[in-house]
Each structure stands twice: as structure tokens, then as C-alpha cells.
Amino acid sequence: MLKREAYSTIERINKTFRVLLVTGPRQVGKTTLLSEYLPEGMNYLSLDDEVLREQARSNPRLFLEEHPWPLLIDEAQYAPQLFPYIKMIVDKENKRGMYWLTGSQQFNLMKNVQESLAGRVGIVKLNSLTYSEIVENENKLLFEPENYKKSDEYIDVNKLYEMIFKGGMPELYDVKDMNRNDFFYAYVETYLSKDVKEQLDILDIGTFRNFMIAIASRNGEQLNYTSIANEIGITDKTVKAWLNILLSSGIVYLLEPFTNTKLKRITHMPKIVFMDTGLCAYLAGWENAKELQLSEVSGHYLETYIISEIIKSYNSVGKEPKISYYRDKDKNEIDLIFEKNQKIYPFEIKKTGNPNKSMIKNFDILNSINKQICSGGIICCYDKLMHLDEKNYIIPISSVININKAE
């Protein structure tokens, strides 16, 4: 089993909170991770079991009496009736690590948890595998924009797009000879039959599948509700409701536009970012990595891959990066803006081995805002970390997604 970056975060939360919640999309390894480090004496129950689920819903007090803590409850979102009773128990006993919960529907789960267990639960967002987890770099260093680090590894562009095409679902790496298409077909069907039906009463699952394909086909693009609605034959309101399912499931992330009162004519549309590029490429119909690499959308996939890797790594340590992008009505764009300690770090993400200063010309747009603009650069396929100019850097992709603490 590949060691997950979130393990140390889980250890920390278990020592300081009475309840641990690990949330994230289906099949990203939540149960496997927790089972690997299950404390001695902790029991395990899954609410995927219909009998247990009905018991938990109909008589939550009795259910928790019959299954005392310490207890791991898998797919806890299926029985939110448990949460008020868990609250009463942890308030009475006041011990650390009493309950471990997992859930794959973040919106409803988080709503119920916040209402019942606020202040008592520590939360870890788990995503599909990061690049460093796949290559088994257990000394991964978090990407920090104020402190760029070189990496000994150069990631060949062909290898990079093989990773983008395959994605990071653990089963694709744990099961020898697992066929990628077979896996994603089953994944989508399970997602539609369980998570989607659980959240919305959607009779036409085929239309929702087409909606997912339409979103995947717009990966890395600005979100346009009307365009999607017209393509699928549904209303803008339905697009918003269905998109919220993808967001709450952790499948899609919306990269919000950068805003500042000093800047005019800024776009207000977020960008679509698939959190697993393998799932995205499958839905969009790409049949192999080379065709994707040579396509017109290869830049979008690289951009969303880098952004999702940053988000996944930060989630693993219990943080959320403050990131956005810039685009104005004149189509001037900055791919990624990282904000930290009231400072701004701008980046371009390019599929090039020959970066040049013209690629960062739009950074000057930010000079008028009332925040300090710090060193950014071009994240690209060049093989060395080096200055581009006095302020900005050429940043190899490996220096973002696979930095070693030993450096």
C-alpha cells in the first residue's frame, strides 16, 4: 500500500479531537487509509450495509449503545441521525479519538457535522493520489511560493502526460493489470447509482452522465452555465444544482477569479478544475496519453493537473491554499495567483521547455493593487530552477509537485 501524505495529519487530529472525519470522493482510499492505522480496540462498521444503515437511522441512540466507541463508521453521511447522539457521548466522556468517520458526500455531510459536532471534530479532506505518493516520495515538502526549492527529478513530458491521463485513483496502482477504462466505467456507474441518486431525485441518469461529460470537456475553461445548459438540454438552474453535486462530491473544484477594487473589467467566472485528471480524460473521451498530450487542450490539462496537485497536497496537511486566477475583459490572463500573508505570488503554467519573459508580461497588471507583489514565475517543463529575471523564476514542474525535504 502506498503511504499517504495525510497520515501525519490524521495522527495529529486523533490526538487532539474527540472525533476525526475523513471526507473525499469515492474510492480515493479513505477506508483503506484509516483501516491501516486503526487503533487497538477500535471497531469498524460500514453504513453501506443496508441493515446497519436502517438501524442507525431509525434508532441512533440504541445503535451507538450496541456499537460503543472507539468506533470507525464508514460512509457516515448515510445516517446523519447519529451525529447529535455522538455529540452527547463525546461531551460526556471527553476522550480524544473516540469516533472516526468517513464520508463521500461532502456537502450534506459537512452541513450535518457542522450543525452537530462543531468544535468536536477534526477534518481531513482526502483526494486521489498525488504524484509524490505515486512515486513513493515519503519526504515530500509542501510547495511554498515564498521559498522555491530545486528538485533532483526531471519529469519527462511524456511521463507527465501518462500520469495526467491515468490520474491518481489508488486502485489503478494497487491492483496489478487493472484496466483504466474498466475502472473508470465502474467508477462512474457507481457514482451515478449511489451518490447522485442519494443527493437528488434524478430520473434521467443518462442526462446527468452527459452533463458530467460536458463539464469534463470544459476542464480548465471558464464556467458558462448557459453554454452547458444549451448543450445538454437543461436549464441554467439545473446546471447549477448538478454542478453542486460534483463540487460536494470532491470531483470538481472551482478556481475563483482574483478580485481587487483597484482592478477594473475583471471576469467574475470561475474556472473548472477536475480534481482527478484521469477521470476527466476518461469522461472527455481521450483514448491515450499521447493524443491528449498533442491536443489543443493539453495546456488546460497541465494547468489543472498542477493546480489539483497543490490543492491535494495542502488538503493532506489540513490546509487550504488561497489560490485564484486573473482574467479581464481584454483577455489578459494569469494562470495562478497564490496569496499568503497578504502577499501575491503570480504564476504562469506552460507546456514548454523554452520559457521566456514575454510569458509573464501580464504580471505587471497587478502592480496597481494595494498588496505586495512577490516573486512568481513560469511553472513549466524546463529542467532547472533558475531566475527568469531579477524577481521571477523558471520553476520546473517537479519543484511544485515533488520537492524532497532533504533538499
Instruction: Report pLDDT digits (tens) over 385-399.
Output: 999 999 999 999 999
Q: How confident is the model at residue 114 (pLDDT cuts 50, 70, 90)?
A: confident
Q: Distance (Å, rounded) from C-alpha 189 to C-alpha 200? A: 16
Domain presence at residue 2? no
- Can you tell me the mean pLDDT for 80-88? 94
Instruction: Note the residue count of the chain.
Output: 407
Cell numbers placing 62: 440504541
pLDDT tens-digit readout, 185-216: 999 998 887 777 766 666 678 889 999 999 99
Structural domain for 151, as ranges: 131-404
Domain presence at residue 1? no
> Do 208 and 88 belong to one domain?
no
The total domain count for the chain is 2
Domain presence at residue 197? yes
Domain presence at residue 224? yes
pLDDT above 90 (res 221): yes
Domain presence at residue 14? yes
> Do 12 and 103 belong to one domain?
yes
Which of 72, 107, 125 is the last residue in one of the domains? 125
Which of 76, 93, 125 is the last residue in one of the domains? 125
Domain presence at residue 248? yes
Domain presence at residue 246? yes
> Do 311 and 251 belong to one domain?
yes
pLDDT above 90 (res 183): yes
Distance of CA 312 to the CA centre of its chain: 5
- Phi, psi torsion values for 312, nearest 5 degrees: -60, -40
Q: Distance (Å, rounded) from C-alpha 260 to C-alpha 280? A: 32
Q: What is the pLDDT of residue 407?
A: 46
- Can you tell me the mean pLDDT for 140-163? 90
> Do 198 and 113 belong to one domain?
no
> Do 189 and 296 belong to one domain?
yes
Closest CA to 378 of 391, 365, 366, 367: 391
pLDDT tens-digit readout, 338-377: 999 989 999 999 999 999 999 999 999 998 888 899 999 9
> Do 68 and 30 belong to one domain?
yes
> Do 160 and 39 belong to one domain?
no
Domain presence at residue 51? yes
> Do 193 and 47 belong to one domain?
no
Q: Are 56 and 81 in contact (CB under 8 A)?
A: yes
Residue reference for cell 462543531: 118
Which of 86, 106, 125 is the last residue in one of the domains? 125
Q: CATH number, domain at 50?
A: 3.40.50.300
Of 152-161, 250-259, 261-270, the poorest mean pLDDT is in 261-270
CB atoms within 10 A of CB 92: 8
pLDDT tens-digit readout, 17-59: 999 999 999 999 999 999 988 888 999 999 989 999 999 999 9
> Do 266 and 169 belong to one domain?
yes
Q: Distance (Å, rounded) from C-alpha 116 to C-alpha 133? A: 34
In the chain, the amino acid numbered 68 is: P
> Do 99 and 219 belong to one domain?
no
pLDDT above 60 (res 290): yes
Distance of CA 252 to the CA centre of its chain: 7
> Do 69 and 182 belong to one domain?
no
Distance of CA 49 to the CA centre of its chain: 27
> Do 114 and 159 belong to one domain?
no
